[in-house]
């Protein structure tokens, strides 16, 4: 599996907030919480996250993507804890360091523990997953490997989730696989406040 480059630097550098044109600024303000602070230009303005800086190169695509991804994050049918399990499995399997560290933080905020993160990073058997959690992890692995959930896993999920939640689970895996491909291909670097030691290391990034 490929990894995000650790030493070469970004292939596509994030676009700093002061370089965004008016259309791009309007796009962000309509779709991202705290955007006014990011783009205010004030001395106390927080640094624009690298992921948003990358999207700033293509405002029209970014507007559509952020609106769509907001459905998965801000008004989900799937429980956020289950969503984060899926995202973290994708991040681990794709070796996406930015996604892994970012969603380890988010995962902890919705009830995942260090033991859960370590289990996701190992064989997945070292914690007592619920039947639904185990099915979702199996589904993520099947989607990443065969691009299809098998019949037994689908039937198990369908017995526990409604149609919206089933669809959302597949879209979460596909969406964060897409982001992992963008991050890895662009050489997205960690934000300064993202600590690699805050989550189990990805293979090849132990140091």
- DSSP class per residue in 52-89: HHHHTT-HHHHHHHHHHHHHHHHS-SS-HHHHHHHHHH
Task: For residues 4-32, give the mean pLDDT.
Answer: 79
Residue 124 falls within a domain, yes or no? Answer: yes
Residue 24's pLDDT band (boundaries 50, 70, 90)?
A: confident
Highest mean pLDDT among 1-10, 25-34, 138-147: 138-147
In this structure, are residues 71 and 35 in contact, taking their beta carbons and an 8 Å threshold? no
Same domain, 65 and 102: no
pLDDT of residue 199: 86
Count other Cβ atoms within 10 Å, centred on residue 107. Answer: 24
Q: What whole-number distance in Å separates Cα of residue 20 and Cα of residue 28?
A: 10
pLDDT of residue 2: 46
Residues 94, 106, 73, 141, Cα dihedral to 10° = 30
User: Which residues form the domain of 145?
Assistant: 78-198
Same domain, 52 and 127: no
195 vs 207 pLDDT, higher one: 195
Same domain, 82 and 177: yes
Task: For residues 135-148, give the mean pLDDT.
Answer: 96
Same domain, 137 and 185: yes
pLDDT of residue 9: 76
Return the biggest CA–CA distance within the chain.
Answer: 56
Report whether pLDDT(67) > 90: no
Report whether pLDDT(93) > 80: yes
pLDDT of residue 204: 59
Same domain, 43 and 129: no
Count other Cβ atoms within 10 Å, centred on residue 114. Answer: 12
Same domain, 87 and 134: yes
Q: In the chain, how many domains are there?
A: 2
- Return the minimum-mean-pLDDT range out of 42-56, 74-88, 115-129: 115-129
Report whether pLDDT(20) > 50: yes
Specify the pTM: 0.89
Q: Which residue has the tokens 């480059």?
A: 5
In this structure, are residues 98 and 198 in contact, taking their beta carbons and an 8 Å threshold? no
Report which DSSP code applies to 136.
Answer: H
pLDDT of residue 123: 62
Give percent above pLDDT 70 in the chain: 90
Residue 159 falls within a domain, yes or no? Answer: yes
SS3 142: helix
Q: Supply 76's token pair.
A: 């989900």
pLDDT of residue 124: 56
When the pLDDT of each residue in the chain is averaged and rounded to a whole number, the result is 88
Count other Cβ atoms within 10 Å, centred on residue 44. Answer: 6
* Buried residues in 125-153 as b, exposed as e (16+ CB within 10 A): eeeebeebbbbbbbbbbbbbeeeebeeeb
Q: Supply 60's token pair.
A: 């029209």
């Amino acid at each position: 599996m490929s990894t995000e480059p650790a030493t070469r630097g970004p292939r596509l550098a994030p676009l700093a907030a002061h370089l965004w044109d008016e259309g791009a600024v309007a796009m962000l303000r309509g779709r991202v919480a705290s955007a006014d602070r990011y783009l205010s230009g004030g001395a106390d303005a927080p640094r624009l996250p690298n992921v948003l800086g990358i999207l700033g190169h293509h405002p029209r695509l970014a507007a559509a993507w952020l609106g769509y991804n907001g459905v998965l994050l801000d008004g989900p049918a799937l429980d956020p804890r289950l969503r984060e399990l899926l995202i973290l499995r994708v991040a681990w399997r794709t070796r996406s360091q930015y996604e892994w560290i970012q969603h380890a933080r988010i995962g902890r905020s919705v009830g995942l523990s260090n033991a859960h993160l370590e289990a996701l990073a190992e064989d997945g058997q070292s914690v007592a997953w619920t039947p639904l959690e185990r099915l979702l992890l199996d589904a993520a692995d099947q989607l990443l490997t065969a691009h299809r959930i098998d019949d037994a896993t689908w039937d198990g999920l369908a017995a526990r989730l409604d149609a919206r939640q089933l669809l959302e689970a597949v879209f979460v895996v596909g969406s964060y696989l897409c982001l992992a491909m963008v991050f890895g291909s662009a050489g997205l670097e960690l934000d300064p406040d993202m600590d690699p030691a805050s989550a189990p290391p990805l293979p090849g990034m132990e140091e």
